[in-house]
C-alpha cells in the first residue's frame, strides 16, 4: 500500500523538511530539533487547554489533541510536532480498564498475569478503524495546522505495554513481567503479540492520517538483559513495526537505559535510534557502526541549570552528534513539567544557529 495522495510526504509539504531529511541520513542546511514531551505540562497554554479534562480524555478528543500537538511548534519553533498521546491510549481503545492517575501514571483496573487473562485480551481482536477514529481525526487536524512542519506519530513498544499490563501500574524493576516472561513464555508471547498488533494499528492509523514519521518508545526495555531483549521483546517490536513497513515512513526507536540494546533496537526495523542522556552520541555512533542516524540526547536535568552550563551542554551534544551520518537534536528523555518554556525556545534557537 502507498500513502494517500494527500499525505504530506506525497504532496511535498514535508518530504524535504529538515527532520525527514535527517531521518533519511541526510544533513539538512538547518540542524533539526524537537523535544519528547514538548506538548505538555511545561506549557501554560497546555494547562489552560487541559483544565478540567482528564489525560486520556484529552488524548481522545481530536480538537484538543491537535491543539496541544501544535502548541510547542508555535511557541518554540521546533522542527516537528509529536502527536499528543500516551502509550496506554491504544490499550484504552482496545477496551482495557486503564486510566492515568495523577502523580502515579497508568493504572489498570486489574493486572493481566495468567494465561486466561491474556486469552481474554486476545479474544478482543484487533483495533478497528472505528475505534481508532479519534486518533485519525486528531492527527488530520494537527497536520492541517502544521503545514510544512512534519507531524511525528507515537506509540509504546510491546514490551513496555506488556509490562504495564502485567504490573498493573508503573514499576521500578518489572519483576512480575520478567517473571511471567520466563515462567510462562507461551503466555508472554501471546501477550506481547497482542500488544504488538494493538500498537502497530495505532501507528498505522497515525501515518495514514498524515504523520510523516513515527517513534516507538520502549520506556522499560532497559530493565532487560541483551539476551532477554532479543529473545522476549524484539520479536514483538518487529511485529509492531511491520504494520507500517509498507508505508515507507521513517521509524525512530527510543528507550531509556538502553546502551546495551542499541544495536538490537536498530535491528527490529528502526531507521533512526534515539539515545538517552546516559550515552554520549559519539559513543552510540561507534556502537552502531557509524551507519545509523541518531536522535538525542540533551540531559533534561540541565534545562534547569544556569544558561552557560546548558549552552555548553548543547554545544557538546551537537559536536558529538556530528560523528553520526545525521542527527536530530532532542532530549535524552522528556521535558520535565517544571521547565521554563523560554529555556526550550532558547535551546531551539541555539541549535539552529550551531547547525546553520
Please provide the DSSP assignment of 269-326 as one string.
Answer: T-SEEE--TTS-HHHHHHHTTT-S-EEEEE-GGGGGS-HHHHHHHHHHHHHHHTTSS-
Q: Note the helical H segments in 77-174.
A: 89-93, 115-123, 133-146, 158-167
Percent of the chain exceeding pLDDT 70 equals 100
Does position 352 have pLDDT exceeding 80, yes or no? Answer: yes
Confidence of residue 221 (pLDDT cuts 50, 70, 90): very high
What's the whole-model pTM score?
0.97
CATH code, domain with 85 = 3.20.20.210
Does position 1 have pLDDT exceeding 80, yes or no? Answer: no
Q: Are strands 81-82 and 151-156 parallel, antiparallel or unpaired?
A: parallel
Inter-residue contact 262 to 208 (CB < 8 Å) = no
**Residue 123 falls inside a structural domain:** yes
**Residue 9 falls inside a structural domain:** no
Inter-residue contact 145 to 207 (CB < 8 Å) = no
The position carrying cell 533534561 is 300
**Residue 40 falls inside a structural domain:** yes
The 10s digit of each residue's pLDDT in 287-322 is 999 999 999 999 999 999 999 999 999 999 999 999
The 10s digit of each residue's pLDDT in 109-123 is 999 999 999 999 999
How far apart are alpha carbons 127 and 203 in whole angstroms? Answer: 11
**Residue 11 falls inside a structural domain:** no
**Residue 13 falls inside a structural domain:** no
**Terminal alpha carbon distance of the chain:** 37
Q: Are strands 98-101 and 105-108 parallel, antiparallel or unpaired?
A: antiparallel
Torsion of CA 45, 47, 49, 54, to 10 degrees: 160
- Please give the average per-residue pLDDT across 157-184, as a whole number: 93
Q: What is the pLDDT of residue 172?
A: 81
How far apart are alpha carbons 329 and 325 in whole angstroms? Answer: 13
Confidence of residue 173 (pLDDT cuts 50, 70, 90): confident
- Please give the average per-residue pLDDT across 170-193, as a whole number: 94
The 10s digit of each residue's pLDDT in 27-47 is 999 999 999 999 988 999 999
**Residue 288 falls inside a structural domain:** yes
Does position 13 have pLDDT exceeding 90, yes or no? Answer: yes
Residue 213's H or E segment, with its range, is strand 213-218
The 10s digit of each residue's pLDDT in 252-292 is 999 999 999 999 999 999 999 999 999 999 999 999 999 99
Q: Quote the domain boundaries for residue 275.
A: 18-354
**Residue 6 falls inside a structural domain:** no
**Residue 298 falls inside a structural domain:** yes
Cell of 41: 505540562
Task: Tally the domains of the chain.
Answer: 1
Amino acid at each position: 500500500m502507498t500513502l494517500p495522495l494527500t499525505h504530506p510526504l506525497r504532496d511535498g509539504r514535508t518530504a524535504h523538511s529538515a527532520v525527514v531529511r535527517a531521518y533519511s541520513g541526510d544533513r539538512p542546511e538547518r540542524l533539526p530539533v524537537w523535544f519528547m514531551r514538548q506538548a505538555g505540562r511545561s506549557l501554560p497554554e497546555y494547562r489552560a487547554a487541559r483544565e478540567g479534562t482528564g489525560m486520556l480524555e484529552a488524548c481522545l478528543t481530536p480538537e484538543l489533541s491537535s491543539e496541544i500537538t501544535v502548541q510547542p511548534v508555535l511557541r518554540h519553533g521546533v522542527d516537528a510536532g509529536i502527536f499528543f498521546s500516551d502509550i496506554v491510549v491504544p490499550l484504552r481503545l482496545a477496551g482495557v480498564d486503564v486510566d492515568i492517575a495523577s502523580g502515579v501514571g497508568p493504572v489498570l483496573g486489574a493486572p493481566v498475569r495468567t494465561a486466561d487473562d491474556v486469552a481474554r485480551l486476545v479474544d478482543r481482536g484487533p483495533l478497528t478503524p472505528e475505534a481508532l477514529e479519534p486518533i485519525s481525526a486528531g492527527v488530520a487536524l494537527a497536520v492541517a495546522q502544521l503545514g510544512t512542519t512534519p507531524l511525528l506519530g507515537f506509540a509504546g513498544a510491546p514490551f513496555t505495554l506488556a509490562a504495564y499490563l502485567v504490573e498493573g501500574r508503573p514499576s521500578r524493576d518489572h519483576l512480575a513481567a520478567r517473571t511471567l516472561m520466563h515462567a510462562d513464555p507461551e503466555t508472554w508471547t501471546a501477550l506481547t503479540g497482542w500488544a504488538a498488533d494493538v500498537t502497530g494499528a495505532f501507528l498505522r492509523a497515525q501515518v495514514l492520517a498524515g504523520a510523516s514519521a513515527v517513534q516507538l518508545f520502549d520506556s522499560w526495555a532497559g530493565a532487560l538483559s541483551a539476551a532477554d531483549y532479543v529473545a522476549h521483546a524484539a520479536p514483538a517490536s518487529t511485529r509492531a513495526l511491520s504494520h507500517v513497513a509498507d508505508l515507507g515512513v521513517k521509524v525512530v526507536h527510543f528507550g531509556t537505559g538502553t546502551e546495551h540494546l542499541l544495536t538490537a533496537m536498530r535491528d527490529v526495523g528502526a531507521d533512526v535510534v534515539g539515545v538517552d542522556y546516559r550515552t554520549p552520541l559519539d559513543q552510540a555512533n561507534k556502537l552502531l557502526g557509524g551507519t545509523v542516524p541518531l536522535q538525542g540526547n540533551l540531559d533534561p536535568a540541565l534545562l534547569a541549570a544556569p544558561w552557560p552550563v546548558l549552552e555548553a551542554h548543547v554545544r557538546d551534544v551537537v559536536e558529538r552528534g556530528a560523528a553520526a551520518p545525521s542527527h536530530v537534536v532532542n532530549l535524552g528523555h522528556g521535558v520535565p513539567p517544571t521547565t521554563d518554556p523560554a529555556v526550550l525556545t532558547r535551546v531551539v534557537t541555539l541549535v539552529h544557529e550551531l547547525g546553520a
